[in-house]
Amino acid sequence: MQIQSKLPAVGTTIFTVMSKLASEHNAINLGQGFPDFNPDPKLIEAVHQAMLQGLNQYPPMPGHAALRERIASKTLQRYGHHYNCDTEITVSSGASEALMASFLAFVHAGDEVIVIEPFYDLYVPAIELAGGKAVPVPMTPPTQNHPYYRVDWDLVEASITSRTRMLVINFPHNPTCSNLRPQDLDALEQLIAKYPLLILSDEVYEHLTFDQQAHLSLATRPSLVERAIIVSSFGKTFHATGWKVGYCCAPAVLMTEIRKIHQYMVFTVPTPLQAGLATYMQDPSTWETLPAFYQEKRDYLLQGLKHTRFTPLPSEGTFFLLASYDGISNESELEFSKWLTRAHGVGTIPVSAFYQNPEHPASNHKLIRLCFAKQKNTLDEALQRLANV
């Protein structure tokens, strides 16, 4: 039978491809972003207790009430905005489902959606499934004076047409590891004052910012809150990527539409995980201690790479850092990453995978992404192998 694919250009995600290759070659996997250590035993115990207490049937469609309350109080405490638990917060099956539901809810056939390139792999296929067209706007690469990728807001504005429905941003940024500055939020405020845009803000790494930099959530600015859907992930925050629990916050008029999709896509997410998270989050130190915890790991990998032929780039957020292999090889990022896995036993992610045309020379800057959400001995072993390159 002839099947007409809805996503003819889509294959298997780079994360799956590289994790499979790493496991086939017994490589240390610094590719796909996940911790190689367990969540806090207190969190596991809280989930266990929830199961024993009988919290094993469907929770409410928008999420377990106590968890939505915790999300509301955390957002208020950190960013100063109060979302209504009943109408403005939904617990989702990972950030992924909240993102997909948002695209399906707001992107109509023929709409354009601006994505900042490089971008997380889910966005473009999701936009296309909704019948929309992704319009990539390249980030400005690092320079001597400003060693971080940043958004060129003039270029974003120049890409807005009468069909532009939405702008997607993701900070702390995967894969470039850069954070928002106050002037970025100023630029966003100016944009939405001029154009009727929604902003989908993927803030899954909101708790992973370093060097005393606070995460600048869109929830810190009242004018942005009105137009924004903010998405986060407990997988990233509490070292439990396999639990697939995330959430989104948005004004009630937007959330009503997101829930119409959410209720039919998954209806809701596992009750004991939600209840356990709610209990665990009573203690704010569970997330407040994360920047220091991950900064130590970032610095360890960064320092270690200085004893190899790789050149690390600074990372101000996420649990990744980029490293250049300039001077080591002229191969494309994908070929180099595969070779590194096979020949030296270290799995990484080619940054080119986050571009619309991964094979194009303009998408290849001799950069690989390494995940430092690993135990010290894992990082030691990876560094030893990288030193042999």
For ligand PMP, which residue of 27, 135, 204, 340 counts as binding (CB under 6 A)? 204
Residues 215-244 that bind ligand PMP (CB under 6 A): 233, 235, 241, 244
For ligand PMP, which residue of 202, 206, 316, 333 counts as binding (CB under 6 A)? 202
Residue 21 beta carbon to ligand PMP: minimum distance, rounded to whole angstroms: 19
Both structure tokens of 160? 């807005």
Residues 10-49 that bind ligand PMP (CB under 6 A): 33
Partner that binds at residue 383, options ligand PMP, ligand GLN, none, CB closer than 5 to 8 Å by kind: none
Percent of the chain as helix, strand, coil, to the nearest 5? 45, 15, 40
Both structure tokens of 312? 């690390």
For ligand PMP, which residue of 46, 55, 71, 95 counts as binding (CB under 6 A)? 95
Q: Which residue has the tokens 């109060």?
A: 82
Partner that binds at residue 32, options ligand GLN, ligand PMP, none, CB closer than 5 to 8 Å by kind: ligand GLN
Q: Report d(CA 28, CA 387) in Å as an integer.
A: 14
Residue 16 beta carbon to ligand PMP: minimum distance, rounded to whole angstroms: 12
Asked if 332 touches ligand PMP (CB under 6 A), the answer is: no
- Specify whether the CB–CB gap between 320 and 177 falls below 8 A: yes
Residue 262 beta carbon to ligand PMP: minimum distance, rounded to whole angstroms: 14
Q: Up-side HSE of residue 62: CA atoms within 13 Å toward CB?
A: 23
Q: Which is nearer to ligand GLN, 275 or 349 (CB)?
A: 349
Residues in the site for ligand GLN, rule: CB under 6 A? 13, 15, 32-33, 174
Residue 93 beta carbon to ligand PMP: minimum distance, rounded to whole angstroms: 7
Question: What DSSP designation does 285 have?
Answer: H
- Binding segment (CB under 6 A) for ligand PMP, from list 93-101, 132-140, 278-286, 379-387: 93-101
Q: Report d(CA 114, CA 119) in Å as an integer.
A: 11
Q: Report d(CA 320, CA 323) in Å as an integer.
A: 10
- Binding segment (CB under 6 A) for ligand PMP, from list 45-53, 90-98, 133-141, 346-354: 90-98
- CA torsion, ordered 270, 129, 351, 207, to nearest 10 deg: -40
Strand positions, DSSP E, the chain: 28-29, 89-92, 112-117, 133-138, 164-170, 198-202, 228-233, 246-249, 311-312, 320-324, 346-347, 349-350, 367-371
Residues 237-276 that bind ligand PMP (CB under 6 A): 241, 244, 246
Q: Report d(CA 310, CA 357) in Å as an integer.
A: 25
Q: Report d(CA 382, CA 389) in Å as an integer.
A: 11
Q: Which is nearer to ligand PMP, 59 or 246 (CB)?
A: 246
Residue 46 beta carbon to ligand PMP: minimum distance, rounded to whole angstroms: 19
Asked if 120 touches ligand PMP (CB under 6 A), the answer is: yes
Q: Which is nearer to ligand GLN, 165 or 369 (CB)?
A: 369
Q: Which is nearer to ligand PMP, 120 or 325 (CB)?
A: 120
Neighbours of 344 (CB within 10 A): 17
Task: Note the residues at the interface with ligand PMP (CB under 6 A).
Answer: 33, 94-96, 120, 170, 174, 202, 204, 233, 235, 241, 244, 246
